[in-house]
Structure 1
């Protein structure tokens, strides 16, 4: 075998190893440096995750080009376990990759063979599965390295536990991950997760971190936990020197059960006992920051601010890679007497640094908040939120900046509105660019080209009523290359008809071809009906739908398309009375659809709406609406129902006051949605016509949204959720 072949064989074997280098652990250099720094706070003595800690440290050091240090950590990881322990599968894999990166192919091959030997002598307990130890380390690593992969980590822990159910540490880590995931979605603890945490706590009574997190969740749930908090505090305060012992969640717990002052007192007590431990200093600094940022009444004592500043200045030296600590310092400085000028200078210095994109996003977002709250400068705040959003990398801070721009947009800031409108176009363009890159590598893939021009058409439709000439030309070219794509053919003919072309003969031919086999949403049937409605009439589309139903009476997709045609006919009918036979046919179709699509609330609402158009059907329609209003619906479903019921009350019942009432109910639900926006627009229209109820509600709504936005920004700015109302909120000026 030649040297080239040998190297190729080794590389293929390396790719099959289960280790950090094959787990898709990607991160920027700045994130790696921060994680390297944070891992120094991990307690090593008695830590059940000692091997995985050394392995992750080795991986990070190698990614940073620190080869000798990486080798030292991987060697330490191997020494944690016995020779044939399955935990060594990951470590040997890491050592094989380390030597490969160092061009030591012989040593690399040696560790590949050691993995093979270990797996041969100690195979996994189930075929086509990994060792439970490998699943556990993979899960733990994903939890620490990438919070976006928490659900995957939970799944890996579950597989490990299924094979070794007696491993309490794995169950504890899994429920902590579940709790983290639940906290990202809900404010209130999930009952099932809480029950799992209680069970894990009973099995793992010495895990003080879990104990603190569980008590915090129980307190959130309204339980009285003060006595247990006191006992846990005594135990944790005996040795609060690392991030595994539960000191930080204990401070959060004290803040929740008692006050932030209580948490500060506890942090200062720990600092007196362990003045040189940087982890305790970091926890203390966070308590002071929350105290300062959430302070409401009166002026803050300057001594308290000075103490916070001292701690944060110390932390910059202790955590040199942490940009967040450097950003927190000017925020606190701006609260001190005459500190705003120095805070602004610090921000300007940070803005001049050559940062990585994700760091820039964080800095721009935090500086935008500072400008908004401290400098009362809306326009510059919008400018820096826009700068954060313009950086294309997906991140928490980019999402938050978009939220802030949406807030400004709702309050009439044109710059924010215009930017968000263009942003959507750019993100659609981003998808098109991805298709273009794929096509450049595989130019013969006609399906990709078709999908790209459909995306182009969708982008053009969102900006213009009339088709773009260049897009139409591309669509025509793609149609020639992909002649059997009838969905695309129908869309193209619709656009050409919009452009004033006579396409009747082509419509007739396409209709014949589509009608031969129209049993799913990819064959272009719905687009064909829209095309017939545009070129001919809705009656023509109804006839076509009925013909399709006669050929395929059991296909629910066709029934849905037919029902939509009837609904359009009924809702947009203008002159004279509708034939009752037509209404009855629409009702029959919609009743069938409710059985065929049992989860669709929209179809139930449509049925009530059509029923109201039938002879003497209004009473039954009202009963249907009342039944729907009694259901326990999700917030977004409630918004949709209230909005449509308000329309029904306005247009059919001619009851303006009740219509306003239900539009208000839709608008009161805070979730952003199309139906909430429509109800607010309706109320704004009524307010412009002098309706006092609508005017008063919109005024109060703006005040509540101001307060909500203030709280949300404050919570996000500090990374800490608390239910507080601001005293210094101001109206956003246009």
Structure 2
């Protein structure tokens, strides 16, 4: 193929709406995990199978299995013929776009061009304007589902896609479900303690109204109601959904979470074991099981003055086993790594705890709040297990240096404040402690308290440029 026509082919490929043009980056996900979970969803007919086959074809390509990618696209075509015999072209646009890209990467340029032409011709037939590329709601929705699969970095874009799909079809149950899930997940990572953490309630209720058979959405609504202290109403949704799909693992995982959060760890475990029997490789389920055993351990320690050592050891062992399985199944599962490291520390396996903390921090897709969360847990590990207050202080400060608000950052700030005040009131405080406490007060916007601390730090260490500069800046900011 000539360079000119190869370049024009590439330019046409970039115009297509499909997984290859949606900026879904392989470094942001665990490909094996997505492949496994998407395969499970195909088995249980969750959402549209066309969507899942198209996504799988892209995942296979990212794993250098182009032949397998083509087989998934063939499956997508079969589903279109069966489910949408009157809308084959409209429903195949993403599939054909993926075909074109895969053939391009296989250097089968003529076949790639054939699929590009199929897409362009179909758009022209579907469009009432001279412009061949029209925005179809189902393509927005398919992009939304793919973005949700690629993790939290993509949730905002997913929400926007479903919003665009809903502009054309506001009563479409699938689009409403996607929008509700995107909103719910965005809220899980929102740290603002204001009304915007309740924005998913209305979309979840709307999605359940439009499709009362979607038990996954019902379970998410139940969890949302639980967050808002409407536990009884939440449980009614869980019980109703349990009657409809008692064996669906994707529903059971959320039902179990509901009962664990209600401190019914045994009931949650019973549900999780049922789900694991169906999808034994689910990292999410193993993590949830680990959290249940951890909850039982903490409950035992809280309610029993001298908890039986054998029981404690067994609960630690079970927690470790399931957290470890979760991280083996999904290699970038940050919270599972942190939970595993903490549980190793609980079992006095400090070397393994240290190694696991380091693995958690080396995950390449950590957001700022993950890092702050890491510094909090690792600071606690240094303080309570390694008995090093100076190291704990160092890591708490690392979290504060990331000047974005989060739950982890607030925890570090509170821990640091308490620890420094203890040291100072116990007569152990030195210039560094006063200087650090000054920094904490300053970050809290408590300028007068910060000045007091820096004055004490300077009195103990008169030549320290850092304390003198901070004190000077604070005094100027108050007087100006």
Say whether the fold is shared (TM-score over 0.5): yes
1:334 match: secondary structure: helix
Q: Output one character per residue of 1:671-712: Cα deviation in whole Å (capped at 9) or x when no partner.
A: x98783225437869999xxxxxxxxxxxxxxxxxxxxxxxx
Instruction: Identify the match of residue 228 of structure 1 among 219, 222, 236.
Output: 236
**CA–CA separation in structure 2 for the residues paired with 1:131 and 1:381:** 53
**CA–CA separation in structure 2 for the residues paired with 1:210 and 1:302:** 37
1:180 and 2:185 are equivalent in the alignment: yes
Tell me what 2:427 maps to: none
* C-alpha displacement of 1:173: 1.4
1:307 and 2:321 are equivalent in the alignment: no
Larger helix share, 1 or 2? 2
**CA–CA separation in structure 1 for the residues paired with 2:355 and 2:30:** 22
Matches within 5 A, 1:14-25: 14-25=13-24
Q: Which has the higher contact order (CA 8 A, sep 6+)?
A: 2
* C-alpha displacement of 1:43: 4.8
Residues 77, 95 of structure 2: 8 Å contact kept: yes
* TM superposition score normalised by structure 1: 0.49
1:267 and 2:272 are equivalent in the alignment: yes
Tell me what 1:110 maps to: 114
Tell me what 1:344 maps to: 351
* C-alpha displacement of 1:124: 7.5
**CA–CA separation in structure 1 for the residues paired with 2:108 and 2:379:** 50
* C-alpha displacement of 1:285: 2.6
* TM superposition score normalised by structure 2: 0.72
Q: Output one character per residue of 1:604-642: Cα deviation in whole Å (capped at 9) or x when no partner.
A: xxxxxxxxxxxxxxxxxxxxxxxxxxxxxxxxxxxxxxx
Instruction: Identify the match of residue 212 of structure 1 among 219, 235, 247.
Output: 219
Cα 1:192–1:284 change in 2 (3 A) is: closer
2:88 match: secondary structure: coil
Tell me what 2:462 maps to: none
1:249 and 2:254 are equivalent in the alignment: yes
Tell me what 1:524 maps to: none
* C-alpha displacement of 1:60: 2.4
Residues 188, 221 of structure 1: 8 Å contact kept: no
Tell me what 1:678 maps to: 447
Q: Output one character per residue of 1:365-409: Cα deviation in whole Å (capped at 9) or x when no partner.
A: 56455334433333344566789999xxx999x988876765676
Tell me what 2:162 maps to: 157
Tell me what 1:201 maps to: 208
2:259 match: secondary structure: helix
Tell me what 1:471 maps to: none
Tell me what 2:71 maps to: 72
Cα 1:234–1:10 change in 2 (3 A) is: closer
**CA–CA separation in structure 2 for the residues paired with 1:70 and 1:229:** 39
Residues 315, 325 of structure 1: 8 Å contact kept: yes
1:147 and 2:152 are equivalent in the alignment: yes
* C-alpha displacement of 1:168: 0.6
**CA–CA separation in structure 1 for the residues paired with 2:356 and 2:235:** 48
* C-alpha displacement of 1:139: 1.5
Residues 364, 385 of structure 1: 8 Å contact kept: no
**CA–CA separation in structure 1 for the residues paired with 2:261 and 2:113:** 55
For structure 1, the 5+ residue unaligned runs are 422-666, 689-734
Matches within 5 A, 1:303-702: 303-315=314-326, 318-319=329-330, 325=336, 328-336=339-347, 340=348, 342-345=349-352, 347-348=354-355, 351=358, 357-358=364-365, 365=375, 367-381=378-392, 414=432, 676-678=445-447, 680-681=449-450
Tell me what 1:239 maps to: 247
Q: Aligned-pair RMSD on alpha carbons?
A: 4.5
Cα 1:321–1:178 change in 2 (3 A) is: closer
* C-alpha displacement of 1:359: 7.1
Cα 1:237–1:313 change in 2 (3 A) is: farther
1:101 and 2:101 are equivalent in the alignment: no
**CA–CA separation in structure 1 for the residues paired with 2:235 and 2:360:** 49
1:18 match: secondary structure: coil
1:277 and 2:280 are equivalent in the alignment: yes
Residues 86, 134 of structure 1: 8 Å contact kept: no
**CA–CA separation in structure 2 for the residues paired with 1:294 and 1:159:** 46
**CA–CA separation in structure 2 for the residues paired with 1:401 and 1:675:** 15
1:42 match: secondary structure: helix
* C-alpha displacement of 1:72: 2.4
**CA–CA separation in structure 2 for the residues paired with 1:314 and 1:38:** 15
* C-alpha displacement of 1:267: 2.7
* C-alpha displacement of 1:81: 1.3
* C-alpha displacement of 1:209: 1.1
**CA–CA separation in structure 1 for the residues paired with 2:353 and 2:39:** 27
- After the TM superposition, which of the residue ranges 402-411 and 177-186 deviates more from structure 2? 402-411
Residues 309, 333 of structure 1: 8 Å contact kept: yes
Cα 1:57–1:267 change in 2 (3 A) is: same
- After the TM superposition, which of the residue ranges 374-383 and 247-256 deviates more from structure 2? 374-383
Q: Output one character per residue of 1:420-444: Cα deviation in whole Å (capped at 9) or x when no partner.
A: 99xxxxxxxxxxxxxxxxxxxxxxx
1:86 match: secondary structure: helix
Cα 1:239–1:184 change in 2 (3 A) is: same
- After the TM superposition, which of the residue ranges 154-163 and 29-38 deviates more from structure 2? 29-38
